[in-house]
Structure 1
Amino acid sequence: MRMREKIIEAALRRLNEDPAASMADLAEAAGISRATLHRHFAGRDELIDEIGTQALDRWEAALDATGVDAAAASADPEVHSATVRALLEVFADLAHEHGWSLTFAAAESYPHLQERSDRLEEREMLLYAAAQRSGVLRADLPVRWISNTVYGICVTARESLRRGDVARRDVARLMAETFLTGTGARP
């Protein structure tokens, strides 16, 4: 593993534990000096930008791997249901790995990251809208509400994992059951 990747991985683990971790804390987590950290990242902003970029890369990969675009173009409720469940399963892992990125308060100060995040959310919302039309998800809820609910469940998963409240193996099931109970179409 290259040093830069090692630093990012260690910094993310540390930020997941302590969102206020300083650059000295992040260097310590990576087992390097602050000087070495600064040779790879000019400052906290550059490191945070890279972590944010990687989180968005993982989100985009999740959308691609689960076939969100094809599912959004489909009218088949079984496709919608399977895709939503698959997406939540991937999000369970992302909530654990990139949990800090979910609630990074200053994300708006990175406009290119915010713009990309908005584009990815739009792709995801097309799936939810299609699932509403096919009867998988409730049609009486605004689609952004549904998207924000998924986001909230990801934050809940992150916090539950961080605190040890749930086993990692149970997170995807809990996310899907919670989401579909609240936003799933009613019989």
Structure 2
Amino acid sequence: MTQDGDLDAIVRQRIRGLRAARGWSLDELASRCYLSPSTLSRIETGHRRIALDQLTPIARALGTTLDQLVESVDDDDVVIRPHRDEARGRTTWLLSREAGPGGVTVAKMRVTRPAPAELRVHPGRDWFTVLSGTVMLRLGERTILVGTGEAAEFSTMVPHSFGAHDGPAELLCILDPEGQRTHLA
């Protein structure tokens, strides 16, 4: 099957699935999108090509968007792949594809190198919880060990750095836009 054929089949499946999930017959959906039931049936079964001018009212009637009906079917919208930064001793998984409220991003990090000697500052706040291992947080003049199951939250206007202590550590971070630029760039 061609890529266009694959997409057509998925769109048809989505239309049929959304209609069935709402408990609607072909007649009910047809009346809501101003198509004949036979046209809608041929669209769902693949006996008729789907035209753009038909997709828009179908999507509207089903309470979805055209984008959602035809969105990608590859696994990149599902699988979160790690980004390795060997130089910084860090592997990152971006768990939020779009910034959340206040522009925050959620990321899982695996850190393997110790906390850098150079402390940095940036506007905002950082928050993390340690999933495994121990993280050394250098915060101004203080050195704080944050262990598995513990969390840290601090103003990033205080000079800071963090890294692994006595072996790799994994942490879950919530970063504001400034933290994203600093820690994920």
Larger strand share, 1 or 2: 2
Q: TM-score, normalised by structure 2?
A: 0.27
Q: Which has the larger radius of gyration?
A: 2
**With structure 1 as the length reference, what TM-score do the two structures score?**
0.27
- In terms of fraction of residues, the more helix-rich structure is 1
Q: Which has the higher contact order (CA 8 A, sep 6+)?
A: 1
